[in-house]
Chain A
Amino acid sequence: MEMNMRALIAFFAAMLLIVTPVLSIAEDLDDEDDMELDDDLDEDSDEEEEETGRFRIVGDLNVGFRFVEQNSDSSKFNLYKDDEIGPYLSRFIFDLEDTETGQVFDLSVKSLGRDDQDIYMEYGNPEHYAIDLRLNDTPYRISDNAKTPYAYLGGGVYRVPDDIVNAIQISDVASAASWTATDAGAGGAGEDARISSVLDANVRDIALGTERRDVSLGLKYNLSKRIKARLEFAVDTKKGKLITGAPIGDRPSRSMTVQLAEPIDYRNEGIKFVVEHRAEQYQLEATYEYSQFENKVDVLSWNSLFHAAAYVGPDGDPATADGGSDYDDIRIGTTTGYATTGRTALAPDNSYENIMLNVGVNLPMMSRFNATVSMGTMVQDEDLLSYATSSFGGALASLPRAEADARVDTKMINLFYTIRPIRKLNTRLFYRYYDLDNKTRESEFYYYTQDSNSEYTPSITTRNYRNERVNLSYGYRHYAYGLDLSYYLGKQGTVGLVAEKDIKNRDYRAVDETDEDIWTLSYRVRPMNNVSIKAKYKWAERSGGKYDGEVTDLSYHFDTTVYADESSSPLSGFGNNPGLRQYDIADRDRDQFDLTIGIVPIDAVIINLAYHLLRNDYSSKIASQITSWDSTRGVFDTVSIDPTQLGLLEDESSRFVLDLNYQINDEMLAYGFLSQEVIDTDQRGRYMNENHKINNIRTARDWRDESGKYVWNADLSDKTNTIGIGFDYAVEESFDIQTYFTHSEGVVDIDYRAGSEIAEDDTSSLLDHAEWYSPSDTKFRTNTFNVVFTKHLAENMKLSFSYTYEEYDAQDWQQVGSAAHQQVYGSQYVANYDSETAGTGNDRVGSRLVTLSDDLAPDYDVHMIAMSFGYKF
């Protein structure tokens, strides 16, 4: 179903020009001999004009000037808005109605000319037709503080200049660990410090964030009183840059990773057509929707920051390992070739089409039946890139197909019936079916590991488990049905019971089908006229049957004649640790409790309390024995394992909220709120050397050990406290004072406990590269104080002064690199991980990350003063 979207744009643009709504009304204004608008506007009483004139105008204008004093160049303050210094139009409403013809023109404008502007206009005769146009801009500012040594050349190409690469790679030592913190660099400093100083001298600013513009044009047309149609065309563009990682190398710690600013240049065009028939007994609605997404930057490519060879470009001549004159030689004793250029495919162009039929029918006994049926298709057929930027002197394998050939079909049926068989009993029956049928063609793709000439990307002539993967077309089917009853007990309240069944079966997941029974009991009552109570308790039990963590083996080329002793072999390796249970498909017991209390102790006071508790327990029984391939003996064997469950074990979230409103008198209102949200999760993991799985299951027992020395636990506590207080004082027709203060503080605390082999810097630890310990808390705190004084100059005129103070503090070890074994060298742009002794095998370049900044959005204090003038007409 190809559509020429540009032709549609032209059509709508032409239509808009033909209609030219404002001009049309303006002409009427000119032509009318009895035109009274100007006279009416001159009159001191606008209501008089409204009652007697042909044209009725309603408007509201707010303009002002804003002064902003910010102590740091933090993008966080204007994350989604444009509160910069200067004049602003915060609001302009202009509604014009021709009372004779019924034609209207409405205009609503916010923040005109700024990055967060929102403009809406509508023209038409509401009884017959209307044309509406909306333009809505939304900024998303991530950082004004980011820097990179790369230059963006456009078209998704980043290049770091050769002189910077040469400066970085100059001191690399042949046939040794290629990057050690204590290596003597050119300046006698450690290699990390030397390189970071090179970066410091060569980084350039790069803004992170996007600007989104949504433009929509709609046409409503009433074919009759009962039949209405709406056609909407929308164009949504998003431009800017977002953070992405850019690794070159087969896998960490051998890969060389830098952070880059991924160019964003998206355009999504959509058309929606709705026809609706509304009768007194039933309503029908048919909707057709088509959306076409285009990414104008298909590919991101970058040259290596660590490579000596001159930049060549995608698919150009590669460099190979040169024995130490660059950072290619990052596996001791192994010269591994790395391409000069990394390349990845960005979000592909795609389209979506959906047709939906909605029916609602009123039936006897206060009953109603609703049905919705829809079918959709998502299609993506972007040309595929070649496997790698370099063929390393050989020939790249041919792709199994030239295009993505990806397609997902969706089907939905939703049936809903509500009835009151007896006066006090509300009954609802529902059935829902959603099918996501992934029709993407599955093929065997060679697996070139990130533009490197490692053992996993030989000159490919033999198809095997190491170098091939099959793209699995995940899909699922979801069934949900149930009965919802509520019975009115009179003054004793209303009691409810919901019984639901939720079944999902999935393709290529560790659990074929999850089956969940959900029960909900609810009760709401007004024990007194001024007290209302709502309580709900929900419990659910989800079972997934047999758990097969090895299902990902299906994505490997599986040659049963080759039982190789490598961790990549689907036969002898792990799809996942047998103790792991993925939480979205694991067995789960769920309890949820909600309580809401509303109290009006006196007429002037309203108190609302809410409490929410949700607890998920993912406990599963883990088998103590599994069948495993013993590569030494060449047989399958049954072995005992530690039946300790891994992954997310339990999570609990609770929220408590208190809301207060006190209408002190006709002029004064005080209000406040207090909330606390706590999310606790218990997680467990296990260190495991994947090679031990296959070399000899009897001697290397880290994945089977039951002593706990390889096991870690992490209790994550995510707590947010929010407080707000406000006070409004309004003297009618004189002045208003509105003021509020909000405080929000989020703290994420990770309590990490590890067994002796992977514990914090423990001398008994054998696995120092796997050590870690509890990091400092992550904290975010925002305080905002705002006061607005408004003087009413006249009934329709006001002058406002506002002052806002906001402070933001953030501490995040993940950004600044302050957690266990993290070091930031010399500048904020090179982060290292130093759990092992310098010069050892794992102290590789891949243990580093070149970042865009360790402080993307710094703390800030902002003072903002604004003056505005408002006029209603």
Chain B
Amino acid sequence: MNRRLCRLRLLAVAVTLLLYAGVTQAKEVDWVVLNPDLKGATSVKEITECLDCHEEYMKPYSKTKHGRALPGDCESCHGPMSKHMDAPREKPVLAISYKPTGGLNSDQKNSICMQCHEGGEQMYWQGGAHEANEVSCNSCHYLMERKSDRSLSIEENAATVCMDCHIEKRGQTLKSSHMPVREGKMGCSSCHNPHGSYAPQLLKAATVNETCYECHAEKRGPFVWEHAPVREDCSSCHNSHGSNNPGMLNTKGAFLCMNCHQYGGHSNVPGYNRASATVGQGCVNCHNRVHGSNHPSGAKFTR
């Protein structure tokens, strides 16, 4: 297919959809849809009455960012309270509850948060990996009490929140060669956007490499002499979640290089009569600019 034509068509579709957006209905939470028992309920906006029964929640809540931004505004998240005020002990509760017994599915819970938080980092939330797997905002965030320094995370170390579900990653971060995740100097969200992303694997930048360059700008180059797979994908050689090989390499020493380089002489076998191939950093002892060279004689990354 003519790619230019294909792109033009896609652009036309995008513009059409954007224009169409102008005539669609505003996205608002319909509390009655979320809880049919709220039909007829009206807003009360009286915090003191909430305090009477819910002080144990309201006290710590007032110390949170939401507590500051929405002081006493319980109804923004819990819906109109008039019926609940009239019959506070009615079960099921005549309000919006986020508890597992509250009857809301993840989409419904998230729609309430998205009243304020759609866009920005959540631009790709809908249809994203977590939304599609029925993760709700309160799976990772807790609004009623400050349990972490930032991000309203349900745990102090945000990485452990991720590992509650991604349990296989815990063992990887405990490997000898690892990023400073278990030390708390990095989190999963240093590289991934759990709220959805335009990039693969929920990465925060367009590609694996562009994500790595955020911290490793020295590898960004571009270089006079490029190492093709390095320019394309750092994960061709590194496992950023942890490794038993130094430098978080996927494979040990010369064996990694020999996966792709066997043209004769010393690059065919792991030993070949030189310590420089097997000791220390392996092939990199001499080919020390494998990420790219800027030396005019750096064709083989030895300069």
Contact = CB atoms under 8 A, between A and B. Distances in A.
Given A280-B26, A819-B278, A406 B224 contact: yes
A682 B118 CA distance: 47
B175 A720 contact: yes
Contacts of B168: 610, 612, 655, 657, 675, 677
A575 B278 contact: no
A87 interface: no
A654 to B, nearest CB: 10
A846 B272 CA distance: 11
Contacts of B258: 647, 683, 685
Contact of B264 (A245, A574, A822): A574
23 contacts: A58-B63, A81-B183, A247-B288, A268-B217, A362-B21, A378-B221, A406-B221, A408-B231, A416-B124, A428-B127, A428-B132, A472-B226, A474-B226, A582-B260, A583-B259, A646-B262, A746-B176, A748-B252, A814-B252, A821-B273, A831-B275, A846-B274, A851-B279
Given A378-B220, A835-B271, A846-B276, A576 B295 contact: no
Given A245-B284, A657-B171, A849-B285, A716 B252 contact: yes
B39 interface: no
Given A285-B120, A406-B223, A815-B280, A345 B167 contact: no
Interface string B188-207: 00000000001110000011
Interface stretch (A165-173, A321-329, A433-441, A635-643): A433-441
What is the interface residue range for chain B against chain A? 35 or more
B82 interface: no
B252 A104 contact: no
Q: Which 9 A-B pairs have the closest CB atoms?
A: A690-B264, A283-B119, A418-B127, A80-B180, A347-B218, A746-B244, A780-B176, A769-B273, A245-B285
A344 B301 CA distance: 10
Given A659-B167, A744-B175, A810-B176, A50 B198 contact: no
A752 to B, nearest CB: 7
Interface string A569-599: 0000111110010111000000000000000
A285 B221 contact: no
Contact of B127 (A93, A136, A416, A433): A416
A632 interface: no
A597 to B, nearest CB: 11
B185 A246 contact: no
Given A281-B27, A369-B17, A266 B217 contact: yes
Interface in A389-436: 399, 404, 406-408, 410, 412-418, 426, 428, 431-434, 436
Contact of A253 (B220, B228, B236, B274): B274
Given A126-B69, A689-B264, A746-B176, A412 B218 contact: no
Interface of B: 7, 10, 14, 17-18, 20-22, 24-28, 59, 62-63, 65, 68-69, 118-120, 123-124, 126-127, 132-133, 146, 149-150, 167-168, 170-172, 174-176, 180, 183, 185, 198-200, 206-207, 210, 213, 215, 217-226, 228-229, 231-233, 236, 244-246, 251-253, 255, 258-266, 268-282, 284-289, 293-299, 302-303
Interface in A197-247: 236, 243-247
A445 interface: yes
Interface in A647-669: 647-648, 655, 657, 659
Contact of A750 (B17, B252, B303): B252
A445 B299 contact: yes
Interface in A724-739: 724
Given A742-B174, A771-B271, A252 B286 contact: yes
A358 interface: yes
Contacts of A815: 279-280
A404 B294 contact: yes
Contacts of A848: 274-276
B232 A584 contact: yes
A239 B3 CA distance: 46
B295 A345 contact: yes
A338 interface: no
A832 interface: yes
Interface residues of A, number: 196
A847 interface: yes
B296 A97 contact: no
A716 B259 CA distance: 12
Listed residue (B62, B198, B245, B284) with the most chain A CB atoms within 10 angstroms of its CB: B198
Contacts of A344: 288-289, 293, 295, 298, 302-303
Contacts of A608: 167
A506 interface: yes
Contact of B275 (A110, A476, A677, A822): A822
A851 B217 CA distance: 28
Given A418-B126, A817-B278, 10 more contacts: A247-B285, A247-B302, A251-B266, A358-B198, A382-B294, A744-B176, A778-B252, A812-B246, A843-B273, A849-B279
B14 A371 contact: yes
A336 interface: no
Identify whether the interface residues of B are mostly helix, strand, loop, or mixed: loop
A404 B223 contact: yes
Interface string A368-388: 111110101011101011111
A259 B280 contact: yes
A280 B28 CA distance: 8
Interface stretch (A30-38, A446-454, A538-546): A446-454
Given A472-B226, A576-B263, A648-B259, A348 B127 contact: no
Contact of A116 (B126, B183, B210): B183
B263 A690 contact: yes
A52 to B, nearest CB: 12
Nearest to A386: B296
Interface in A35-88: 47, 50, 56, 58, 79-81
Listed residue (A136, A434, A474, A832) with the most chain B CB atoms within 10 angstroms of its CB: A474
A213 B93 CA distance: 50
B245 to A, nearest CB: 7
B18 A690 contact: no
Contacts of A506: 228, 232
Contacts of B14: 359, 369, 371, 415
Given A648-B259, A772-B270, A833-B274, A408 B222 contact: yes
A752 B156 CA distance: 46
Given A138-B180, A778-B252, A849-B275, A280 B27 contact: yes
Contacts of B120: 276, 278, 283, 285
B163 to A, nearest CB: 9
Contact of A445 (B245, B277, B297): B297
A291 interface: yes
A513 B275 CA distance: 38
Contacts of A647: 258-260, 262
Contacts of B262: 576-577, 580, 646-647, 685-686, 688
B253 to A, nearest CB: 5
Contacts of B275: 817, 822, 831-833, 847-849
Contacts of B24: 281, 362-364
A652 B298 CA distance: 35
Contact of B174 (A104, A268, A368, A744): A744
A425 B215 CA distance: 40
Contact of A257 (B59, B285, B297): B285
Nearest to A260: B288
Interface in A308-367: 343-345, 347-348, 350, 352, 358-364
Contact of B220 (A343, A350, A371, A469): A350
Contacts of B271: 769-772, 820-821, 833, 835
Contact of A436 (B118, B231, B294): B231
Nearest to B68: A97
A833 B263 contact: no
Contacts of B269: 685, 687, 712, 758, 770, 772
A744 B242 CA distance: 12
